[in-house]
Amino acid sequence: MADKVRVALDAMGGDHGPAVVVSGAELALRAHPESEFLFFGDARLVAPLLDARPLLKVASRLVHTEVAVRMDAKPSQALRYGRWKSSMWLALAAVKKGDADVAVSGGNTGALMAMAKFELRMLPGIERPAIAALWPTLRGESIVLDLGASIGADAEHLVDLAVMGAATARILFGLSRPTVGLLNIGVEEVKGLEPVREAGRILREEKLPDLDYQGFVEGDDIGRGKVDVVVTEGFSGNIALKTAEGTARQMGEYIKAAMSRSLSARIGYLFARSAFRELRERIDPRRSNGGVFLGLNGIVIKSHGGTDAEGFAAAINLGRGVVLDQLLAKITSALDRHHGYQQRALGGAAS
Amino acid sequence: MADKVRVALDAMGGDHGPAVVVSGAELALRAHPESEFLFFGDARLVAPLLDARPLLKVASRLVHTEVAVRMDAKPSQALRYGRWKSSMWLALAAVKKGDADVAVSGGNTGALMAMAKFELRMLPGIERPAIAALWPTLRGESIVLDLGASIGADAEHLVDLAVMGAATARILFGLSRPTVGLLNIGVEEVKGLEPVREAGRILREEKLPDLDYQGFVEGDDIGRGKVDVVVTEGFSGNIALKTAEGTARQMGEYIKAAMSRSLSARIGYLFARSAFRELRERIDPRRSNGGVFLGLNGIVIKSHGGTDAEGFAAAINLGRGVVLDQLLAKITSALDRHHGYQQRALGGAAS
C-alpha cells in the first residue's frame, strides 16, 4: 500500500502521443504492478490502446479531453487555449487535487513549465522552476540542473538551484553533504559569467551545512563525476545535455562501424557480444530519460518528446522513485533552512 | 617554397609550458619538414629542449623573454604586465610584423584574445574575435564557433559568426554554399534566447549568397553533422565542446571496462584490436585540438592548455592549413560582401 504510486499522464504529449505514453505505462506497470495510472487525452485515440492491454486497463482511468498542447506553441498561447482543459493541464491538476502523486508529460517544455507554475505554484522563496536530471558519470551518477526550464539566471537563482539540487542528491543518492559545482568555462575565479561568479561567492561565504561547494567545474567534469551536483542556467544546461547525448550516439555509431570493418573485428564482436550489449545499455540515453521539475508544490516529470515506450517508462519510474523518497517534503525543508539562514544573515547585517 | 609556413610559438603557454610546446613543434616538423619555428620564452628553459633536438633547432629561432602570462590572470592584468614583452605578446607581434605567418599559444584564452585584439586589430566591421574549431561528426567534420572567445552575443555578432564560419567552411571543406545552423534549445522559432531568434530572422531575410541558413539546431545535431557550421556564443559553445570531449572520454572508459569484464570479451578484444585502435584514434580529442581565432588581422591558433605534444602538434598543423588555404584573405572578402549588403540594405531603407 505504501508503495502504490498514482501517476497522472499527459497522453497527448511528446512527438508520438498516446502510442508511446500508453506502451510506456504498460512497461512501467510490468516493473511495478502496484502502480495506478490516470490518462488524460483524446478517448478516441487512447481508449483503443488501453482496450488492447487488459492488465493496464484495470490499473488505469481515462479522462477524455479534446484539447492538446501543440509542441510548437508558445507558453502564453498554450495557457490561453489549454488552461483548465488540455491533457497537460489536467494531468497537473490531478496532482494538485491529490488525485495523483506525480504528473508525467513528454509535451512542450515551456508550456509544461508555465502551466505547472500556474497550477501547482512555486515553493516559498523560489521564483522559477528548474529541470534536474540524473547524468551517468564515471563515478556513478550526478544531478545536473537546470536543463532548460528557464533561460538565464541571476546569482540568487543559481544558489537556489544549488540548494534544490543538493537536496535532491541527498535524497536520491543518500549523501549527507553532496558536493556541488557551478558550470563555467574555466575553473579560475576570474572567468565566466558575472552571475556565476557572484553565485560562487555567495556559496563560498554562506558555507551551507547541507552542501559542500567545490567551485567551478567545466563541461568535461560532468561526465567525470567531479561533483554530485552540477548547477547551470537552462540554456547552457540544455545544450550540455543534448550535446552529451549526441556524442554518446556518435560513439555508438563509431563502435558499430569499427566492429564491422574487417573479418577479425567481426569475430571479435561475436566473442564480446555480451560486453557490447552491456555497453549499449549503459550508453542508452533512454535509460536516463526524464527530468524532475524542481521548485514546485507538486511532482512533475518531463520526458523527452522524442523518446519511445522504454524511455517513457524510465520517466514514469523516475517519478515513482521521487514520490517514494518524499523528495518534495525534503526539498521544502532544505529551502526553509537556506532562506532562514539568509533572513538571519540579513537581520544580523541590519542590526 | 610556397608551402613553407613560419610559426610563432608562445613557448610558455599551456599547463605544461615549454616541454609540450617544443615536443609538439618537433612532431609538427617531422610531418612538414619545410616548417620554420620562432619560439618566444625563457631561454633557460627552452634552449636546452632545443639543444636536445638538433633537427628542430636548425629550423628554429629562439627569442628570450622573462615574462609569461599566468593561466589565471585576468585579461586586463595580463595586458598590464605582459604587453610588449610576454612570450604570448611577442608571438602575436611576430605575426603583425610579418616575421611569422601564424601564432600558436596554449596559454590563457582571455589574455590571448585581448592581446590579439590589441596587437593585430579586428577585421573591418567585426567587434569581437571568435574561436572556431573542427568538430568530428557522423558525416565528417563541422565548424563550431564561438568556443569561448567572448561571452554572450547580440544578434549582429551571431550573424558575423555565421558569415565568418561559413567562409571558413568554404575554404577548409571546399564547399560553395555551406549549411549554417544557430545552436538553440529547441528547433521551433519561438524558443530560446532573444538574440538567437533575432539572428535567425536576419539570416532568413538576408538570404546571403555564400551560406545556406538552415534554422536552429540543438546540441545533439552537432555530432550528427546536421549542418556544416554551428553558430553559438562563447559560453554555451565552450560548454558544448568540453561536454562532448568529456562524454567521448567517458565512452572510451566504458569500452575499456566492458572489454575486460569477461574472458570472452577479452578474447573478442584481441580479435578486434586493430578496430579498437582505429576507434581510439577517431575519438581522441587531441586529433581535433586547436581553435582558430577568427575576426583578426592575422592568424592565431589557440591550443588546449592541458594538451600533450601530439595535441600541440595538431594545433600547429591546423595553423599551417589555415595559412596555406589563405583563410584570412577569403574571410575578409566574405565579410566585405556581407557588410556591403547591409550597407545597401540600409541605404535602400533610407531612400
Hey, is the C-beta of B308 within 8 angstroms of any chain A C-beta?
Answer: no
Mean pLDDT of B34-45: 97
> CB-hemisphere CA count at 13 Å for B78?
25
| Closest A-chain CA to B193 | A151
Q: Average pLDDT for residues B108-118, to the nearest whole number?
A: 92
* A280 has pLDDT over 80: no
Task: Please compute Rg for chain B using Cα positions.
Answer: 21
Select from A186, A250, A268 the Cβ nearest to the Cβ of B223: A250
Lookup result for grid cell 523527452: A304
A98 vs B262, which has greater pLDDT?
Answer: A98
B188 pLDDT tier (thresholds 50, 70, 90): low
pLDDT at B67 over 50: yes
pLDDT, tens only, A152-191: 889 999 999 999 999 889 888 889 999 999 999 876 655 6
User: Is it the case that residue B1 has pLDDT exceeding 50?
Assistant: no
pLDDT of A209 above 60: yes
Mutation target to probe the A interface, by most A beta carbons within 10 A, among B243, B262, B280 is B243
The percentage of chain B sitting over the pLDDT mark of 90, rounded to a whole number, equals 62
Distance (Å, whole) CA A140 – CA A143: 11
Which chain A residues are closer than 8 Å to B275 by Cβ? 258-259, 261-262, 264-265, 268
More confident residue, B39 or B282: B39
pLDDT value at residue B152: 86
pLDDT tens column, B150-186: 888 899 999 999 999 998 898 888 899 999 999 998 7
Exposure on the CB side of residue B203, measured as CA atoms within 13 A? 29
- Residue closest to B211 by CA, chosen among B341, B338, B348, B343: B338
The predicted pLDDT at position A226 comes to 97
Instruction: Give B136 to chain A, closest Cα distance, Å.
Output: 10
pLDDT digits (tens, 9 = 90+) for A300-321: 999 988 899 999 999 999 999 8
Burial class (CB within 10 angstroms; exposed 0-12, middle 13-18, buried 19+) of A293: buried
Output the pTM of the full model: 0.87
Q: What is the mean pLDDT of residues A278-291?
A: 77
Whole-complex ipTM: 0.86
- What is the predicted pLDDT for the residue at A338? 78
Region of poorest pLDDT, from A245-254, A264-273, B37-46: A264-273
Q: What is the pLDDT of residue A191?
A: 66
The pLDDT assigned to A249 comes to 87
- B-facing residues of A in 38-97 (CB < 8 A) are 71-74
In the predicted structure, residue B145 carries a pLDDT above the cut 70:
yes
Question: Hey, are the CB atoms on B151 and A243 less than 8 Å from each other?
Answer: no
Take residue B190 and report the three cell numbers written for it: 519561438
Domains and CATH numbers, chain B: 1-124+295-326 (3.40.718.10), 127-291 (3.40.718.10)
- Residue A85, C-beta contacts closer than 8 angstroms, at least 6 positions apart: A65, A67
pLDDT at residue B42 tops 70 = yes
Mean pLDDT of chain A: 89
Q: Average pLDDT, stretch A122-144?
A: 89
Lowest mean pLDDT among A317-331, A333-347, B235-249: A333-347
User: What mean pLDDT value characterizes chain B?
Assistant: 89
Q: Which residue has the higher pLDDT, A188 or A59?
A: A59
Here the contacts of B198-204 (C-beta below 8 Å, separation 24 or greater) are: B198/B155, B199/B155, B199/B156, B199/B158, B199/B159, B199/B162, B199/B231, B201/B155, B202/B155, B202/B156, B202/B159, B203/B159, B203/B162
For A239, nearest residue in chain B (alpha carbons): B219
| DSSP string for residues in B267-316 | HHHHHTHHHHHHHHHHT-GGGG--EEEESBSSEEEEPPTT--HHHHHHHH
Give the residue from A117, A68, A61, A66 showing the smallest Cα distance to A88.
A68
Arithmetic mean of pLDDT, B77-87: 95
pLDDT of residue B350: 41
More confident residue, B62 or A248: B62
Is A49 strand, coil or helix? helix
Q: Return the residue of A nearest to B136 by Cα.
A: A250
pLDDT confidence of residue A322: 87
User: When comparing pLDDT for B330 and A107, which is higher?
Assistant: A107
